[in-house]
Amino acid sequence: MRSRFVVQLHDATRLHYDLRIQLGDVLRSWAVPKGPSMDPAVRRLAVPVEDHELSAGDFEGVHEGSRRGTGAVIIWDEGQAEIVRDEPGHLTAELHGHKLTGRFGLTRTGANRWVLVKVRDEHARPGSDVAAERPESVRSGKRWQDLAGVRG
């Protein structure tokens, strides 16, 4: 199944990454505190959150009235996604992003706890830390702090 994905870096109560993968006409969503990794040895906590409308994946800017954090959001990565497996408690998708490429697995490990892991494939980069290496928006080149600063 052909779809798209987006990862938004969001400064709210805590800085986190919102991973959203299109399934049909919604974006299934997880909050990933430390962000994705291209290193298959790294398991990242992914907390499932409610589905979002497709249009939510295009937002980059500052959410006004954010109670904690600045509310700044950047589109950290996006691209086409191929859904490889979709079953209860597990999703595998092949991502064709600017930063994230190849297969990723999302697996439920607890009541409100999933893990996000890079599958060992030719795109994997052991030892890398893409969140630290590539902090900028793939649309504007800005960092979330640039947007937050605009707000004064």
- Of the pair 52, 118, the CB lying nearest Mn ion is at 52
User: Quick one: which of 5, 7, 9, 18 contacts Mn ion (CB under 5 A)?
Assistant: 18
- Of the pair 96, 142, the CB lying nearest Mn ion is at 142
User: Quick one: which of 7, 10, 60, 74 contacts Mn ion (CB under 5 A)?
Assistant: 10
CB-based contacts of 128, cutoff 8 Å, min separation 6: 37, 38, 39
Q: How many residues bind Mn ion (CB under 5 A)?
A: 2
User: How many residues make up the chain in this entry?
Assistant: 152
Task: Report the greatest alpha carbon distance in the chain.
Answer: 45
Under 8 Å between Cβ of 104 and 38: no
Binding to Mn ion (CB under 5 A): which residues in 93-152?
none
Type of residue numbered 44: R
Distance in Å, CB of 136 to Mn ion, minimum: 18
Which window, 2-10, 37-45, 76-84, 107-115, contacts Mn ion (CB under 5 A)?
2-10
- Of the pair 10, 99, the CB lying nearest Mn ion is at 10
Neighbour-count burial of 30, counting CB atoms closer than 10 A to its CB (0-12 exposed, 13-18 middle, 19+ buried): buried
Binding residues for Mn ion (CB under 5 A): 10, 18
